[in-house]
Chains A and B, each alone.
Chain A
Amino acid sequence: MLSLGDRQRKFQAALLAMSARETTNGLGVYRNNVRGNLTLALKLVFPATLKLVGEDCFCAYAEKFLLAQPPRDADLHRYGEAFPDFLAASALAGQLPYLADVAWLDWGVHHALHEVEIPPLDPQTLAHAPENFSFVGHPSLSLRALRRDAQAIWAAVLEEDDDRLAAILPDDSIAPLIILRPRGLLEVIELSPAMFDLALTLASGFPLDAALAVIGDEEAAQALGLLLSYGMFSGITPTATEERSCLSR
């Protein structure tokens, strides 16, 4: 016999898989509502992406996405994190190489604004840190190395500034960004490539001495100091000695 969870998953899958022509058992209204709601949730999270590709195109790809990756959480504010990478792997990416990065900016800002607000780690408390620890990334934090033109496109599209949009030159060089809201204000900060590597390694939970291997010794203190001042971390967590020793060797 199916458990309730299995039954619900099967029903969700069947509902999402129904074609528009099927009208079995009056389920069409549910099918349409589910798709409509999820598409609308994505539209609200990805305003610049929506404006960039237009309503019809956005809805077509939103539908493909929601069939492939339906939400796992009842809170639809959390739905869509995988949409930028879904777009990156789609046919659209060939025509609009910056699209996935624009979508990621939409997601990062949405995430930073809706994630729980907690104060950042106070660097002064590190004086009393245990010998072995790793940093905990701030809940509002997103990191990604984007195409350099993506942020200008994102900003111009959101503000519907066609003149500025027309003046943007394609630039596929890398701009590493972090988006976060550690003190109530949204911050979009560009990092140097070395600083970005350090930020990514620390945010992934590597202890400090292991993470310092990704950055030059001379830049390390400055880079870590700036990351701390940006409020990139919300705390520290002690690392077990055994775990440490296999990472740092």
Chain B
Amino acid sequence: MDRRNFAAKILTAAVGIAASAAPMAASAQSISSPKLEKCYGVNAVGRNDCAAGTHSCAGQATMARDPASFVLLPQGDCSKLAGGSLTPGKAS
């Protein structure tokens, strides 16, 4: 069979399969990974390089614990950290 026609056939079939598979794709096919959550406000100064501009060196970073930034932590750890929050806050 001509490859071009074959590709077009496969594409049509695939679109049909995707339409029927869509609702289950998110849950059924994912394999277990740890429950991770975004933890806002605990990012360390490393993410706010000196180049960021508001301060001359990292030791004086004013943007440490920036509530609009997050790091990824195993579920439950976030609330143990001072300043940690599961929702983003206003950037200071």
Residues of A within 8 A of B (CB): 29-30, 33-34, 36-41, 43-44, 47, 74, 76-77, 109-110, 113, 123-124, 126-127, 129, 151, 154-155, 158-160, 183, 185-190, 208-209, 212, 217, 220-226, 228-231, 248
B46 and A36: CB pair below 8 A? Answer: yes
B44 and A47: CB pair below 8 A? Answer: no
Neighbour of A225 across the interface among B13, B47, B50, B72, CB < 8 A: B13
Chain B residues near A220 (CB-CB < 8 A)? 10, 14
Chain A residues near B16 (CB-CB < 8 A)? 225
Taking the complex as formed, is B21 at the interface, i.e. its CB lies under 8 A from any CB of chain A?
Answer: yes
In the complex the two chains form, what is the Cα distance from A248 to B4 in whole Å?
Answer: 10
Least Cβ–Cβ distance between B14 and chain A, in angstroms? 4
Seed contacts A44-B71, A159-B74; 5 additional CB < 8 Å A-B pairs: A37-B45, A113-B38, A183-B26, A186-B36, A225-B15
Taking the complex as formed, is B7 at the interface, i.e. its CB lies under 8 A from any CB of chain A?
Answer: yes
Chain B residues near A34 (CB-CB < 8 A)? 50
Neighbour of A158 across the interface among B13, B19, B74, CB < 8 A: B74
B46 and A37: CB pair below 8 A? Answer: yes
Tally B residues with Cβ within 8 Å of A: 41
Taking the complex as formed, is B31 at the interface, i.e. its CB lies under 8 A from any CB of chain A?
Answer: yes
Chain B residues near A33 (CB-CB < 8 A)? 50, 57-59
Chain B residues near A123 (CB-CB < 8 A)? 14-15, 18-19
In the complex the two chains form, what is the Cα distance from A29 to B59 in whole Å?
Answer: 10
Q: Which residue of B lies closest to A209 (CB)?
A: B7
Least Cβ–Cβ distance between B28 and chain A, in angstroms? 10
B25 and A36: CB pair below 8 A? Answer: no
In the complex the two chains form, what is the Cα distance from A212 to B9 in whole Å?
Answer: 12
Chain B residues near A41 (CB-CB < 8 A)? 46-47, 49
In the complex the two chains form, what is the Cα distance from A30 to B50 in whole Å?
Answer: 9
Neighbour of B47 across the interface among A44, A155, A158, A188, CB < 8 A: A44
In the complex the two chains form, what is the Cα distance from A185 to B26 in whole Å?
Answer: 9
Taking the complex as formed, is B86 at the interface, i.e. its CB lies under 8 A from any CB of chain A?
Answer: no
Given contacts A113-B72, A124-B15, are A212 and B33 in contact (CB under 8 A)?
A: no
B72 and A110: CB pair below 8 A? Answer: yes
A230 and B29: CB pair below 8 A? Answer: yes
Q: Which residue of B lies closest to A220 (CB)?
A: B10
Chain B residues near A190 (CB-CB < 8 A)? 31
In the complex the two chains form, what is the Cα distance from A64 to B42 in whole Å?
Answer: 26
Q: Which residue of A lies closest to B9 (CB)?
A: A221
B36 and A40: CB pair below 8 A? Answer: no
Least Cβ–Cβ distance between B58 and chain A, in angstroms? 5
A229 and B57: CB pair below 8 A? Answer: no
Taking the complex as formed, is B11 at the interface, i.e. its CB lies under 8 A from any CB of chain A?
Answer: yes
B72 and A228: CB pair below 8 A? Answer: no
Q: Which residue of A lies closest to B57 (CB)?
A: A33
In the complex the two chains form, what is the Cα distance from A231 to B9 in whole Å?
Answer: 21
In the complex the two chains form, what is the Cα distance from A187 to B29 in whole Å?
Answer: 9
